[in-house]
Every structure is written in structure tokens, then in C-alpha cells.
Amino acid sequence: MAIRDGHEVASTAPGMPDQTAVPERGPAAGFGPDPLKSFHSVGCVADAATIRERADGSFEVLATGTTRMRLLSVDASGPFLTAELEELPEEKGDEAGALAEGVLRAFRQYQKRLAGARERTLSTGEAELPDEPAVVSYLVAAAMMLDTATKQRLLQAPDTASRLRDELKLLRSETAIIRNLPSLPAADLTRGPTSLN
């Protein structure tokens, strides 16, 4: 489950504004009185492909989302957070096949425009992309330069066709922006707090 903005980490030491404040401890530290409100309501089971420890002691994890889940409750009474989840079925929806074809065409244009903005070319052989609508919808959502809120909206779509319809609009919009304003999307800027400086 993705953590909502503003609840990513707990304080680890006394700090501003109260230098004497003792940081919260325990599995729900930093999540407020109701940890459930700190998480998005839909997420997915993660299949960790690789886990590497970095020199600084942090970890690099490469994971793939598998089954979509709805978060029903969070329990902070033990040594770590646990949750009650409900599996969400992947419904196809109306016209998913035709929408997937349109999304793939728009995604290729998006890739070309993005490569042009980076002053790079795509590999000469066009990458083989899947044609199964659900797989296309998740692949495109993962590959696009989008903020967390937009990716979450796509994950929460009621069915594959709805997700593909939304992606088609996003791809057309993003491609037009990159064509008319050839600069790189600043995805990292959407992940931090706004500064008045």
C-alpha cells in the first residue's frame, strides 16, 4: 500500500519546533492516531525480484505488483503493522481490447517524444509489447512519468477498460505537452514538499 503524502516517516530525534520532544516509538510511529488514514485504500501484493543492501545500510528493492488488494483495517498492536486485506478482481470492462490497441499506439508516440526530449533515440528494434489489455494497462501505468496520486488513481480504476481510457487521455495530454514544451518531466519535484524559497 502506498503511504499518503505527509506520513512517510516518523521523527527519529528531537527537533523543530520543540527540541525536547521525544520522538514517537512503535510500529505506528508517524502515522497519527488512525494508521488506516495514512495509507491509500488500494494497493497490490509485491513480488520482490531482487533485494540489495547499499553501502550506507539502506536497501534497493526491485518489486513487481501482482494482485490488487483493498485495505480494510490496520493493526498497530504488535511489533509491526499488520493489515486486513481484500483481493480485488480484475474486471475487463467494455471495449478493453480496442482501448489497449489505442493505448499501445499512444504509448509508442509518448516514448518517441520523451526520447526526443532527452535527445536520445529509441532502440532500432521496436520493443515487443504485450497485447493482453490488463497487462498493457499496468505496464503503461508503471512506465509513464506520473505523480503518485495519478498512479494511485489508475490502480484504483474499477476495471481494465476504465484504466486504459484514463491512460489514453493521459498519454495524449503528456505527448502534446512534450511536443510543445520539449523538456523532461520533473517527476522528482512532485515527491517533495513545496518550498517558498
* Rounded Cα gap, residues 170 and 145, in angstroms: 10
Task: Give the H/E segment covering residue 75.
Answer: strand 59-75
Rg (CA), the chain: 20
Per residue in 161-172, pLDDT tens? 999 999 999 999
What mean pLDDT is reported for the chain?
Answer: 82
Distances (CA, A) of 152 to 9, 11, 16, 43, 148: 20, 26, 32, 8, 6
* Rounded Cα gap, residues 29 and 7, in angstroms: 10
Residue keyed to cell 488488494: 69
Q: Could you tell me which residues are beta bridge partners of residue 74?
A: 83
Q: Within its chain, how far is the Cα of 88 from the centroid? A: 17
Tell whether the model's pLDDT for residue 197 goes beyond 50.
no
Lowest mean per-residue pLDDT among 48-62, 116-130, 144-158:
116-130
Which grid coordinates belong to 197?
524559497
Q: What is the pLDDT of residue 137?
A: 95
Q: Could you tell me which residues are beta bridge partners of residue 53?
A: 59
* Rounded Cα gap, residues 132 and 152, in angstroms: 21
Tell whether the model's pLDDT for residue 62 goes beyond 80.
yes
Cis peptide before 17 (omega within 30 of 0): yes
Question: Which string of DSSP letters, residue by residue, matches 22-41?
Answer: PPP-STTTTS-S-GGGGB-S
pTM for the whole thing?
A: 0.75
Confidence of residue 5 (pLDDT cuts 50, 70, 90): low
Per residue in 101-128, pLDDT tens? 999 999 999 988 887 755 555 554 556 7
Q: What is the pLDDT of residue 7?
A: 46
